[in-house]
Amino acid sequence: MKNRTIALAGVYQAAVMAHELANSGAIRDQRSWECSLKSLYKMDASSTEDVFDNNINELALGLNALIKSFNKDSYYINVIKYTITLLALAGKLQQRPEMMDDIAKGLNDSKVLQNNEEPFNRDVIHKLAQIYSKTISQMQPRVIVAGQPFHLKDPAITEKIRAILLAGIRSAMLWRQLGGTQLQLLFKRNGYLNAAKQLIGQ
């Protein structure tokens, strides 16, 4: 349950940042942003924590969103929608090995665009957004992000949204690989809540 909660928090974290970008055009927590994007490149991680740089503090945004959404905080209505959609898409992606190969190739190609000063520069974000558009966006259900039209018409912001949603898919795939199911979200809510609270308290 601890590992599944960490993975689910990764999905929530991506959903929260997509929501923030769509409504404010900015990311409030740069460390959470980088933690989520780094997880895209941790395909051979030694543990669930290792996917997120062995730093649970950088998943605090996602853990808090999980707790508040499970406690029916109305602010998180759209975040919950994005999270549920990402989990459903991960299930579809598991049945599309050719698409998973395309994503892996795209991620490898994006590595050469990184640099030490700014690993997630505009070129990398553009590439990640392209990967999302050519793969995940082609499946149903689609993640329909609600927000301010001014921000949603800005290509730089929409590319960031797609990039972070790709990170959300990575966490959703991890959650499923760890045995996560939709039914658990209904019948094991207390387990997730307790695990999230313990992780925040570490």
Determine the average pLDDT of the residues in 35-51.
Answer: 94
Token representation of residue 6: 């960490």
Ranges of each domain in the chain: 2-201
CA 8 to chain centre: 9
The DSSP code for 75 is: G
Label residue 202 by pLDDT band (50, 70, 90): low
What's the whole-number average pLDDT of the chain?
Answer: 96
pLDDT at 167: 98
Region 2-201: CATH code: 1.10.3890.10
For 102-132, how does the pLDDT look when each residue is reduced to its tens digit (9 = 90+)?
999 999 999 989 988 889 999 999 999 999 9
pLDDT exceeds 90 at position 52: yes
Q: How far apart are CA 51 and CA 35, in angstroms?
A: 9
- φ, ψ at 98 (rounded to 5°): -70, -35
pLDDT at 117: 83
For 130-164, how does the pLDDT look when each residue is reduced to its tens digit (9 = 90+)?
999 999 999 999 999 999 999 999 999 999 999 99
Token representation of residue 1: 């349950």
Query: Which region holds residue 55: left if phi is over 0, alpha if psi is between -120 and 50, else beta?
Result: beta
Determine the average pLDDT of the residues in 74-100.
Answer: 96
